[in-house]
Amino acid sequence: MNDSLLDVMRTRRSVRSFRPEAIDDRTIARLLTAATWAPTAGNAQPWYFYVTREEYVRRKLAEAALGQVFVAQAPMVIICCADLERARAAYKLRGETLYCIQDTAAATQNLLLMAHALGLGACWVGAFDENAVIDVLYLPKHHRPLALVPVGYPAQNPVDPGRLPLHKVFSEID
Amino acid sequence: MNDSLLDVMRTRRSVRSFRPEAIDDRTIARLLTAATWAPTAGNAQPWYFYVTREEYVRRKLAEAALGQVFVAQAPMVIICCADLERARAAYKLRGETLYCIQDTAAATQNLLLMAHALGLGACWVGAFDENAVIDVLYLPKHHRPLALVPVGYPAQNPVDPGRLPLHKVFSEID
């Protein structure tokens, strides 16, 4: 299992071009189930996921994402939000400023890994105007959008960007 | 693959009791390799990992983690840090306040999934005094500790905490 798990992690790419085939409800449920099994401090689950398959909404999201048109080209976009209310209720300021960002990021990573394992392509989009996304989706005040994830069947096979060698990002303290 | 991947995600637990067996260098490299294949905005890789197997350091980390003694009981602790310099260089304020937290969280999640797939137990510890950890490890100013992860062979089999049903954390916009 560990070899194939590393393989999923290593071969996942940021996919920015998609075939037009729609994503069905069962696939969406599988992606979100994976997301919600991320670690979460005190099992607070301070996250919320919006899904849209509407072209008009996707186009507005692409605008909010500073014109990244591939966001609209995907047949579906998942908007990963922190639930600030749940975060505050569980852990006050550290919950709201750190844990909910971390938990939602871990959930987003599970979602991306599962998408890749299912043969889908996706991209973690972080460059967007948060207020514009809030306006497009009519989000309640306590939902902070932290990642836009366009998902679809990939129409490209991006090159491996590589990573720094381990010794550049790691040291042992003894 | 997707079924076994979901299985790894669903059966991962926060393990807080460990057998004394040491963790070898090869296993550490596998965990960190998994971590560094997390998604990272612009391939900036704004993370740094410290590993310690020293009992004295682990005891000090347990103190910094508000007395969570299991942190010292594990044979090894990995300290997942954001590299604020690399984050700022790539994306200025949003890099430093958001992306590096997200990227490091996604890396931590990869690390936890790999640990579980290798038969190890681990726990994402977020409750600690950041300045105390900085002091214990003599961290440079640009390394912000974001998670302590004690790792070892598990001496407990924690119960499944469950998750909210999907309809509580998800809605479709159409």
Average pLDDT value over all residues in chain A:
97
Reported ipTM: the value is 0.98
In a domain, B80, yes or no: yes
In a domain, A5, yes or no: no
User: Which pLDDT tens digit goes with each residue over A24-61?
Assistant: 999 999 999 999 999 999 999 999 999 999 999 999 99
pLDDT of residue B167: 97
Give A-chain residues touching B76 at CB under 8 angstroms: none
**Mean pLDDT of the region A92-118:** 98
Give yes or no for a contact between B40 and B95, defined as CB atoms under 8 angstroms apart.
Answer: no
pLDDT of residue A136: 98
pLDDT of residue A68: 98
In a domain, A162, yes or no: no
User: The domain that contains A35 carries what CATH number?
Assistant: 3.40.109.10
User: Which pLDDT tens digit goes with each residue over B27-60?
Assistant: 999 999 999 999 999 999 999 999 999 999 999 9
Q: Which two three-digit tokens encode residue A173?
A: 């303290």
Q: B2: pLDDT confidence band, cut at 50, 70 and 90?
A: confident
The number of folded domains in chain B is 1
**Mean pLDDT of the region A124-133:** 98
The residue of chain A nearest to residue B82, with distances taken between CA atoms, is: A169
- B/e letters for A21-40, b = 16+ CB within 10 Å, e = fewer, are eebeeebbebbbbbbbbbbb
Residue-wise DSSP of B142-171: TEEEEEEEEEE-BS--PPP-----GGGSEE
**Mean pLDDT of the region A64-68:** 98
Q: Within an 8 Å CB–CB cutoff, is residue B112 touching chain A? A: yes
Tell me the residue range of the domain where A67 lies.
23-151
pLDDT of residue A174: 87
pLDDT of residue B160: 97
In a domain, A164, yes or no: no
In a domain, A7, yes or no: no
Give the type of residue at A140. Answer: P
**Mean pLDDT of the region B64-91:** 98
> Could you tell me whether strands A170-173 and A76-83 are parallel, antiparallel, or unpaired per DSSP bridges?
unpaired
- Region for residue B133 given its phi and psi (left: phi exceeds 0; alpha: psi -120 to 50; beta: otherwise): alpha
Helix (H) / strand (E) containing B80: strand B76-83
Q: Within an 8 Å CB–CB cutoff, is residue B53 touching chain A? A: yes
In a domain, B144, yes or no: yes
In a domain, A44, yes or no: yes
Model-wide pTM > 0.80: yes
pLDDT of residue B86: 98
With tokens 């507005």, the residue in question is: A60
Contact flag A34-B1 (C-beta cutoff 8 Å): no
In a domain, B3, yes or no: no
Judged against a pLDDT cut of 80, whether residue A1 lies above it is answered with: no
- The rounded distance, in Å, linking the Cα atoms of B165 and B168 is 6
